[in-house]
């Protein structure tokens, strides 16, 4: 560790005035991050936050670390260059549903399939905030916004499903109303070597207020949130009496109540975070039929892209020796004149 | 080959100063390979040379069609060679379509070598011939060698057990063997190359060598038609040194690699495949042991963004592309300008707009390079004149980018990228090192602190304790480096960014005349790959006593010091360009000089004769 003294939240807080709207869910996420980083034992100088454009992308300005606020949608590409240039750096990418799934959809796909070792946080508020309230790729059909006065007719995407489809090795979901679990998610995401994707449901109080109320509100949270844990049964509800039962063959799940219709705890599926099929099922659960799944839906590490690049570069040196420019310029046919 | 009575050497070979050969055939006939081999062999024989590969965009256009014809022209001589030559003295036509496309360029009396085996009724029809040109007098004005190369090749490879299809592929080597004999070239390097290339298929190697030898033997033994002799081109008087052939793209790749070593920094090259830039990526991808990391990005935008990310992290970030890719990179270039990060971009120009003609050369990205971004977004633009210059230009680009914390665009083009010339190999130890300064002192630090002379901001890389900072596309305060929406500050920062780029000119040489006097009647002002044609034309005119000078600009932005004064020393200024008058407009805008465009937008380089005529006409009109 470079820093002998443990850092505090204050050490990770920059001197910049935070300029999100009052009540924005981003405040909670920022606080969770500033509180969690000291626990990770990382140093400020080796931490880099990279973002694109949008409300969420202002995040780096408020972190007292290195930060690069780049252009719309391209943060994963910048972050890939940063990580390949210096694999010692701890890279976090902050994006939103518009930045990451619309203009940056391509880079989102490719950073995930390559599995660059970084954490990719997507704040999903189902709306464009900074451009003042247009619908986003995660907005539901029928959403009325300045650009869809008669209601959106676009089919939305599900960020976790896109990530799984892109072969992401770490997919998690959190919510801005639960900062303690966000901190935990940041920790496991950080520990995972490869691209760690976290979708964070986040409220935009100005343009899409209450979008997640029916998941987030205190009175419904226990019924509508299913927090998954590796090796533990998939239970939810106030008394944890409800659970998910996996159909034979694993094609779908249904909700069961322990003690009803002869259902016992043994009938409830156990979460296996290395099971990609299960992860697809969990990521695709929506109200009102199902609770929404939170926590680490999928974690199945393989070698990260940057480590493979470093390995290939090292192997080339091993095999061919350190490159000598004079030899390079004289390779192939050469001749003397004069 | 333009004088009827020529001296002969002891072997009875006619001695020539210079020859232009064009190989032409189907894109599957291996003409690029034959050309490349002839080039290597000719270089080893000690001639100066220049080449021009000209091929269709399609990988395998339908066989026998005119649009599937692939050509490779080489100009070699016992004196220095600046261009691949205007008109071929020798045309090798492997099929009717190749003849149809190329014959118009061969002057009367030129030598045409034909593969009669390919002049079938079907191929004639595909080429659009209603009558057989071998029989209808089309070729009466030329000297010709009509040979059934197909049949002779099959006979030569037959002992090696190749089938007809595989055997016919060796036609190009048979033809090469004949040309090697005609021009007294050594077969050795090609034989060695074939053995290396087909190390895993010795039967193919030996079959190809047999074809090469058979072509050569044919030359030795066959009775050549009257007027056709064998030739010798004495060695050129090149400056002493160690030489190799080099293409522009190879030179850019190697220059960038050398710049990494000279600066002591690793090189990150993020790129997306695009014609004609891809071969830079191919070259660099094999140089990992030189401290080069290559990254084939998902698109042009990710390519430049990853390179900017690498630069932000403190190493050399570079990318390459062509016109359409440059357009996509525009926004990211703006960010690199705003965040003042070092970055090198090779733009290998091609005919456009849009997809245009991807394999054809053009110089039409000058405006895009200098001005092609939103808002006032200045950067540095360099333009090498020859393939060999690309090596030093890549090093210069890195040096400027690091010193001034700015993106630097190197404008090459398809002609320079693929063309080859003998290049005197520099000693690495003779290249001056590149100075790199990272900020490490936290005292008084902010990211936009500037060097008072160059105006470059300080480079603080992540990982440095105490220098944690945030940068991005939003305008920053000149005084604190924080986000600033202050109107006066924006004005000041815009002016500062422009002044910083103008300062680069202080490090660059003053503009000199390439050839001729530094004042007079007429200046021909060029940039980039038009160098050879302009220089040759001006040289010829000056020999005839015409008052004309050649000025060649290599630093397109900022323009070199002394250029304005120099231009104003001439009564007339003509700017030949492979575009619709872009440099001419820049010179007019910057200096209020009456620069006149001489444009050619045909996807082909200028012929010397075209510029020669423009000079003669201009000077004649005056009197």
pLDDT tens-digit readout, B211-254: 999 999 999 998 888 778 899 999 998 899 999 999 999 999 99
CA distance B410 to B528: 10
Chain B residue with minimal CA distance to A326? B428
Of A232, A228, A218, whose CA–CA distance to A177 is shortest? A218
Are the Cβ atoms of A16 and B483 closer than 8 angstroms? yes
Q: Which residues on B lie below 8 Å from A320 (Cβ)?
A: 289
pLDDT of residue B162: 86
Q: How many CB atoms lie within 10 A of CB B620?
A: 9
The helix/strand/coil state of B144 is: strand
Are the Cβ atoms of A326 and B428 closer than 8 angstroms? yes
Question: What's the mean pLDDT in A288-292?
Answer: 97
Contact in structure between B171 and B153 (CB atoms under 8 Å): yes
Confidence label for A4 from pLDDT (cuts 50, 70 and 90) = low
Chain A / chain B CB contacts < 8 angstroms: 215
Are the Cβ atoms of A60 and B46 closer than 8 angstroms? no
pLDDT of residue B2: 47
- Per-residue pLDDT tens for B513-559? 999 999 999 999 999 999 999 999 999 999 999 999 999 999 999 99
Q: Which residues on B lie below 8 Å from A63 (Cβ)?
A: 470
HEC secondary structure over A194-232: CEEEEEEECCCCCCCCCCCHHHHCHHHHHHHEEECCCCC
Question: What's the mean pLDDT in B308-325?
Answer: 98
Are the Cβ atoms of B305 and A323 closer than 8 angstroms? no
CA distance B227 to B109: 9
- Per-residue pLDDT tens for A171-218? 999 999 999 999 999 999 999 999 999 999 999 999 999 999 999 999
What's the full length of chain B, in residues? 623
Confidence label for A312 from pLDDT (cuts 50, 70 and 90) = very high
Question: Which of A91, A325, A330, A332 to mutate to probe the B interface, most B CBs <10 Å?
Answer: A325
CB-based contact (8 Å) between A251 and chain B? no
Residue A267 CA: distances (Å) to CA of A243, A246, B129, B445, B586: 9, 8, 81, 62, 77
CB-nearest partner of A85 from B240, B310, B465: B310
Confidence label for B1 from pLDDT (cuts 50, 70 and 90) = very low
Chain A residue with minimal CA distance to B47? A337
The helix/strand/coil state of A37 is: helix
pLDDT of residue A325: 98
CA distance B411 to B394: 10
Question: What's the mean pLDDT in B103-113?
Answer: 95
| Mean of the per-residue pLDDT values of chain A | 96
CA distance B618 to B407: 39
Q: Which residues on B lie below 8 Å from A64 (Cβ)?
A: 468
Q: Is the pLDDT of residue A333 over 60?
A: yes
Q: Is the pLDDT of residue B3 over 80?
A: no
* Percentage above 70 pLDDT, chain A: 99
CB-based contact (8 Å) between A1 and chain B? no
Lookup result for tokens 């000025």: B551
Are the Cβ atoms of A78 and B189 closer than 8 angstroms? no
| Mean of the per-residue pLDDT values of chain B | 95
CA distance B381 to B346: 10
Chain A residue with minimal CA distance to B484? A16
* Percentage above 70 pLDDT, chain B: 99
Task: Find how far residue A304's CA is from the centre of its chain.
Answer: 16
DSSP symbols for B560-591 = PTTHHHHHHTEEEEEEEESSSSHHHHHHHHHH
CA distance A31 to B406: 36
Are the Cβ atoms of B470 and A14 closer than 8 angstroms? yes
Confidence label for B12 from pLDDT (cuts 50, 70 and 90) = confident
Q: Is the pLDDT of residue B443 over 70?
A: yes
Give backbone dihedrals phi and psi of B449, rounded to 5 degrees, phi first.
-65, 140
Are the Cβ atoms of B298 and A110 closer than 8 angstroms? yes
pLDDT of residue A74: 98
Chain B residue with minimal CA distance to A323? B290
Q: How far is A56 from chain B (nearest CA, A)?
A: 14
Q: Is the pLDDT of residue A68 over 70?
A: yes
Are the Cβ atoms of A312 and B288 closer than 8 angstroms? yes
Are the Cβ atoms of A68 and B299 closer than 8 angstroms? no
Question: What's the mean pLDDT in A164-173?
Answer: 98
CA distance B329 to B323: 10
- Per-residue pLDDT tens for B156-188? 999 998 889 989 999 999 999 999 999 999 999
pLDDT of residue A234: 98
Question: What's the mean pLDDT in B269-296?
Answer: 98
Are the Cβ atoms of B314 and A85 closer than 8 angstroms? yes
Q: Is the pLDDT of residue A31 over 70?
A: yes
CB-nearest partner of A45 from B235, B291, B462: B462
Q: Is the pLDDT of residue A281 over 50?
A: yes
Q: Is the pLDDT of residue B373 over 90?
A: yes
Chain A residue with minimal CA distance to B319? A81
Are the Cβ atoms of A109 and B298 closer than 8 angstroms? yes
Q: Which residues on B lie below 8 Å from A82 (Cβ)?
A: 309-310, 312-313, 462
Contact partners, residue B270, CB within 8 Å, separation at least 6: A81, B294, B295, B297, B302, B303, B304, B305, B306, B307, B310, B317, B318, B319
* Percentage above 90 pLDDT, chain A: 95
- Per-residue pLDDT tens for A78-93? 999 999 999 999 999 9
pLDDT of residue B5: 61
* Percentage above 90 pLDDT, chain B: 92
Q: Is the pLDDT of residue A315 over 60?
A: yes
- Per-residue pLDDT tens for A218-245? 999 999 999 999 999 999 999 999 999 9
Give backbone dihedrals phi and psi of A333, rounded to 5 degrees, phi first.
-75, 125
């Amino acid at each position: 560790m470079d820093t002998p003294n443990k850092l505090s939240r204050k050490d990770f807080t920059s001197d910049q005035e935070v300029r999100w709207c009052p009540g924005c869910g981003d405040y909670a996420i920022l606080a969770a991050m500033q509180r969690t980083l000291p626990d990770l034992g990382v140093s400020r100088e080796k931490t880099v936050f990279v973002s694109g454009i949008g409300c969420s992308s202002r995040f780096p300005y408020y972190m007292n670390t290195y930060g690069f606020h780049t252009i719309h949608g391209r943060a994963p590409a910048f972050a890939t260059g940063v990580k390949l240039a210096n694999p010692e750096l701890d890279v976090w990418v902050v994006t939103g549903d518009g930045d990451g799934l619309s203009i940056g959809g391509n880079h989102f796909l490719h950073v995930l399939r390559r599995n660059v070792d970084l954490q990719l946080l997507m704040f999903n508020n189902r709306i464009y905030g900074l451009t003042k309230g247009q619908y986003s790729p995660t907005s539901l059909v029928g959403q009325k916004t300045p650009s869809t006065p008669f209601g959106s007719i676009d089919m939305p995407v599900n960020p976790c499903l896109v990530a799984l489809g892109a072969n992401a090795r770490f997919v998690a979901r959190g919510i801005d109303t639960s900062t303690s679990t966000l901190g935990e998610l940041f920790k496991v995401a950080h520990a995972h070597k490869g691209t760690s994707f976290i979708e964070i449901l986040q409220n935009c109080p100005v343009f899409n207020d209450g979008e997640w109320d029916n998941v987030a509100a205190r009175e419904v949270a226990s019924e509508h949130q299913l927090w998954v844990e590796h090796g533990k049964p998939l239970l939810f509800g106030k008394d944890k009496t409800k659970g998910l039962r996996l159909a034979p063959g694993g094609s779908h799940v249904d909700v069961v109540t322990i003690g009803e219709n002869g259902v016992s705890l043994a009938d409830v599926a156990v979460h296996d975070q290395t099971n990609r099929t299960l992860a697809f099922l969990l990521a695709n659960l929506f109200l009102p039929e199902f609770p929404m799944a939170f926590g680490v839906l999928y974690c199945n590490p393989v070698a990260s892209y940057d480590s493979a690049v470093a390995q290939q570069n090292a192997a080339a040196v091993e095999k061919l020796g350190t490159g000598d420019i004079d030899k390079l310029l004289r390779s192939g046919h050469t001749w003397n004149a004069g | 080959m333009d004088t009827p009575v020529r001296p002969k050497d002891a072997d009875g070979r006619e001695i020539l100063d210079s020859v232009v050969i064009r190989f032409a055939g189907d894109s599957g006939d291996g003409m690029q390979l034959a050309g490349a081999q002839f080039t290597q062999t000719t270089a080893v024989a000690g001639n100066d040379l220049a080449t021009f590969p000209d091929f269709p965009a399609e990988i395998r256009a339908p066989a026998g069609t005119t649009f599937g014809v692939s050509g490779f022209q080489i100009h070699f001589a016992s004196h220095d060679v600046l261009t691949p030559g205007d008109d071929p003295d020798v045309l090798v036509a492997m099929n009717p379509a190749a003849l149809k496309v190329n014959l118009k360029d061969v002057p009367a009396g030129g030598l045409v070598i034909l593969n009669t085996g390919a002049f079938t009724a079907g191929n004639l029809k595909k080429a659009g011939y209603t009558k057989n040109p071998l029989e209808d007098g089309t070729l009466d004005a030329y000297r010709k060698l009509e040979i059934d190369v197909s049949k002779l090749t099959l006979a030569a490879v037959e002992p090696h057990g190749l089938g007809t299809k595989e055997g016919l592929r060796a036609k190009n080597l048979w033809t090469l063997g004949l040309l090697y004999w005609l021009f007294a070239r050594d077969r050795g390097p090609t034989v060695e190359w074939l053995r290396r290339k087909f190390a895993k298929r010795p039967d193919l190697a030996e079959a190809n060598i047999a074809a090469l030898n058979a072509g050569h033997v044919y030359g030795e033994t066959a009775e050549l038609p009257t007027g056709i002799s064998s030739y010798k081109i004495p060695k050129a008087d090149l400056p002493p040194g160690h030489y190799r052939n080099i293409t522009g793209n190879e030179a850019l790749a190697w220059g960038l690699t050398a710049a990494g070593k000279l600066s002591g920094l690793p090189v990150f090259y993020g790129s997306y495949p695009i014609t004609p830039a891809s071969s830079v990526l191919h070259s660099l991808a094999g140089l990992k042991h030189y401290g080069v990391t290559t990254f084939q990005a998902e698109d042009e935008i990710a390519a430049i963004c990853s390179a900017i990310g690498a630069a932000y992290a403190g190493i050399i970030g570079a990318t390459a592309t062509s016109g359409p890719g440059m357009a996509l990179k525009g926004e990211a270039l703006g960010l690199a300008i705003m965040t003042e990060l070092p970055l090198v971009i090779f733009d290998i120009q091609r005919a456009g707009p849009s997809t245009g003609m991807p394999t054809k050369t053009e110089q039409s990205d000058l405006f895009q390079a200098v001005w092609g971004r939103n808002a006032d977004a200045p950067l540095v633009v360099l333009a090498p004149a020859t393939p060999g210059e690309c090596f030093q230009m890549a090093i210069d680009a890195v040096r400027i980018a690091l010193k001034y914390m700015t993106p630097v665009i190197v404008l090459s083009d398809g002609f320079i990228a693929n063309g080859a010339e003998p290049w005197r190999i520099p000693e690495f130890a003779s290249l001056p090192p590149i100075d790199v300064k990272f900020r490490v002192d936290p005292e008084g630090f902010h990211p936009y602190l500037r060097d008072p002379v160059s105006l470059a901001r300080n480079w603080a890389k992540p990982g440095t304790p105490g220098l944690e900072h945030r940068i991005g596309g939003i305008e920053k305060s000149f005084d604190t480096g924080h986000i600033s929406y202050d109107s006066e500050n924006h004005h000041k920062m815009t002016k500062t960014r422009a002044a910083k780029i103008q300062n680069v000119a202080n490090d660059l040489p003053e503009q000199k005349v390439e050839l001729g006097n530094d004042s007079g009647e007429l200046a021909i002002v060029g940039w980039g790959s038009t160098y050879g044609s302009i220089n040759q034309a001006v040289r010829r005119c000056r020999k005839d006593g015409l008052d004309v000078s050649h000025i060649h600009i290599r630093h397109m932005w900022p323009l070199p010091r002394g250029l304005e004064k120099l231009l104003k020393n001439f009564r007339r200024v003509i700017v030949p360009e492979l575009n619709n008058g872009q440099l001419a407009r820049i010179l007019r805008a910057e200096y209020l000089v009456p620069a006149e465009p001489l444009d050619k937008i045909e996807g082909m380089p200028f012929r010397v004769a075209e510029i020669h005529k423009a000079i003669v006409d201009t000077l004649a009109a005056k009197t």
